[in-house]
Amino acid sequence: MKVIEYKAEFQKELQNLANKNKKIGFVPTMGALHKGHISLIQKSSSENDITVVSIFVNPTQFNDKNDLKNYPRFIDKDIELLKNKGCDFVFTPSVKEIYPEQDDRIFDFGDLDKVMEGKHRQGHFNGVAQVVSKLFDIVKPNIAYFGKKDFQQYVIIKKMVNMLNMPIQIKACPIVRENDGLAMSSRNILLTAEQRKNASFISNTLFKARNLTNQFSVKELKDWVINTINANPFLNVEYFDIVDDVELKSINDWQKKNNKVGCIAVKVGKNRLIDNVNFNL
């Protein structure tokens, strides 16, 4: 496994692989790695000749400077964790390497980035598109892997790849959960012991909600989820919506044949956790 910081050096390595027709899988991360990330790496390793992992905390996707400042960073621990996990290259660029000059590109995703996360984190997905498109230009992967926990991000990155005519397949991999159901996230380590204990109530409520679709209308079920979670004094729902999995439009009728995804963001103290479950009937 090679760890490379500089773009020029990294691209030289990748060009040698391209000349040998090696199939490249790519897992972009912001570090603070956990079993969810490892599952993406192992999936890539099983489907490609070479697997590349990037570790880069992207400043342009944070609308809250304190969130950027407090985002967990454990680069040495991350690199150690990646050994013997099927990773061939770790790309660890500085901000200056990725943004030698300011990126002023504005992406038009229609309504995809104006709901849920986009509504509550202004400019977030434009920043995601900036960094992911730059990383794709550097790595030139055949396949890129993303976790379904960030479902809206996955939909938007697929849209971006189509908009930019990038010959890259985007694959979504299942959410990896802790034993109590909490979706694995780099932010989980920021929770106090009591917050962590109560955070599992989010996923447990979503799982229960899937069994109540024959008792409640869509609106009634949304209200039930929000009220149930908000009744826990450690939790505060920022949003909960049930949307189709292509255009992310709110579902109002269980009988519609779209694939339905229930997406949620919850504040746990100063931390913010997201999760989602399928409501396919």
Q: Which residues are catalytic?
A: 37
Characterize the bridge pairing of strands 260-268 and 235-244. Answer: antiparallel
Instruction: Determine the residue type at 279.
Output: F
Token pair of 211 as six digits: 């069994």
Q: Cα(208)–Cα(215) distance, rounded to whole angstroms?
A: 12
Total Cβ atoms within 10 A of residue 181: 16
